[in-house]
Amino acid sequence: EIQALVAALTVLACFAVLADFRFGALLILIMMPVEGSYLFPHSVFGVTGLNPLNLVLAATLASFIVRGHGFRRFLPKQLGWLFIAPIIVAGLIGSRHADEVYPYFYEVEIIHFTDALGYLRDVMLKPLLMVLSALMIAQAVMRSKKTENFLVPFVIAVWVMSVMAMRIIAPRRSQSGLSRSI
């Protein structure tokens, strides 16, 4: 039932984003801090990786393109050379050594890939999607008549991230025995 609700809300959000890509940027802004947690669904329609954030990001990009906004100012050259190129180069270099990862990281489930394709997905594609999300948010703010309307979602995102950090980090600290020694 919950998966059906998440799928339905995601599809509704994607349709709403097609009306105005700035709504998608707001949703991305609010969802990004929660995306890495266990509370956020990591699959929609049973497909892993097809999560609400990725679907809303794709719909936002499609809406941006359909509205005829140009890509001339979408990706500045400096951003391409300073962010995107190093991520791609590092991903390609590291993918050749994906099978040399120390087994301990698999045991404690820090990493979830076993081959070069999984390495590229986790270590290269995810950061590139974060850069794309930041670019979409920047375009929405630039094309907004009242940029102060984005202040509330930014504050909500910061508070959500802070609450998530306190909720996730604090129990780990108490389990490690630090609370017993104090």
| pLDDT per position as a tens digit, 39-89 | 777 777 777 678 888 889 999 999 998 887 767 778 888 888 998 999 999
pTM: 0.79
pLDDT band at 173 (very low <50, low <70, confident <90, very high): very low
| pLDDT per position as a tens digit, 91-137 | 999 999 888 888 888 888 788 788 888 889 888 998 999 999 999 99
| pLDDT per position as a tens digit, 57-68 | 999 999 998 887
Per-residue buried b or exposed e for 42-76, using 16+ beta carbons within 10 Å of the residue's own CB:
bebeeeeebbbbbbbbbbbbebbeeeeeeeeebee
